[in-house]
Structure 1
């Protein structure tokens, strides 16, 4: 079986993360996690607005996609959604170790903060408040 050209198979897919085994992306408001070897849609979810970011664990045991809510896919537990309240929105995320991600939430609004997500337990807690960004920009140093 030949290598599949994912860009051709999903021309509107905006890639959020990619590993040798998985491709995580979205087409507008619809997020998808694809197993590359057979094209299986391991995770599908829809967001209000485009998802902003995503991450696939390098052990391929879990993945996270975030925007107006946070969706966690775990190889043993499947899909779980963590809702955000007060019109918060995840702008970016970063891997910080083991099964933990930090999420930059609402950097242009009144709830600007860094939150931490433990993917194994789905524990979601605020790490610190941060100053609200005065001007919109795609890249924020945090």
Structure 2
């Protein structure tokens, strides 16, 4: 497992804007697959879906705690504790480089990529079936 001790999550995945670009590309892949312009064989699709599923699983385990991260933690009642709690809360969800928006965008992008792979695999299966039927007409003509 990667050691991200000195690395922020956004340095690994980019900020939310970079993740939006990734999302645009994922939606483009999905549109291409839905239009029949992209297909992937079952074996490749399975490997890619497994990798996406692993990433989704890891991020989903973190996402379970998002509601907790949105709330200001109870560090205490004195002024310093309240200030630290407000800072912590802002760090989680204050801008596009904060953990929560980055995580939510990443999960959304992974879901779109998974959907595109599903459609692309079906496209490959359908095109393979059509090709088999087409080539079968030549075989039938020879007999």
Larger Rg: 2
**Higher strand proportion, which one?**
1
The reply to whether TM is greater than 0.5 is no
**Higher helix proportion, which one?**
2
| TM-score, normalised relative to structure 1 | 0.20
| TM-score, normalised relative to structure 2 | 0.20
